[in-house]
A = this chain, B = another copy of it.
């Protein structure tokens, strides 16, 4: 490899933010946007925006700004959502239902191609318009889908086991909504999402004297 340009995680997170903004802008018919305008729309510092993009090459024209449609295509390619990105969801509970029903998913080219559960009462029923499948069929189904991304919306007690099952089925990118730490081999990329973490950060700031230090 010539040079593996390591991209900071925060930069990737912001790329998704830019993507959101661009989707919105393009539907509003805007043609170009400057980094200063990005700062107003997203709250991200203008030079931060430019530096984020600079990890991947040059996208804008000095004196003009960035072409909305073109930039959207390029970020989509970077994030591997220029063509539909297949995703598998495990857990057909409330959270799973919310995720399947979330419109932003499809708008950004993430396609939940299958939903699995281990509850016989749920298997065979439909979540919106996708059938809930038996978790035991994970390997065989994903042999067809070829998803590398798994979303875990299962109880903590099942998370570790389910994650390992996903790995056996060929997935190596895991988004874990269960409030527990998952131990995985180094080549498996796990990302934890915890509502409680977010709430805790807020709650801390509910100190006696508005301690916004």
Contacts and interface: CB of A to CB of B under 8 A. Distances in A.
A61 interface: no
Given A187-B210, A191-B198, A204 B79 contact: yes
Given A19-B200, A94-B101, A198-B191, A206 B13 contact: no
A206 B94 contact: no
Interface string A195-213: 1111111111111001111
Please state the number of chain copies in the assembly: 2
A24 B151 CA distance: 23
A211 to B, nearest CB: 7
Q: How large is the interface on A (under 10, 10 to 19, 20 to 34, 35 or more residues)?
A: 35 or more
Interface string A141-158: 000000011010000000
A10 to B, nearest CB: 10
Interface of A: 4, 6-7, 9, 12-13, 15-17, 19-20, 41-43, 78-81, 85, 87, 93-95, 97-99, 101-102, 104-105, 108, 110, 148-149, 151, 172-175, 179-181, 183, 186-187, 189, 191, 193-207, 210-213
Q: Which 10 A-B pairs have the closest CB atoms?
A: A16-B200, A94-B98, A173-B202, A16-B197, A95-B98, A4-B213, A12-B201, A98-B98, A13-B197, A80-B203
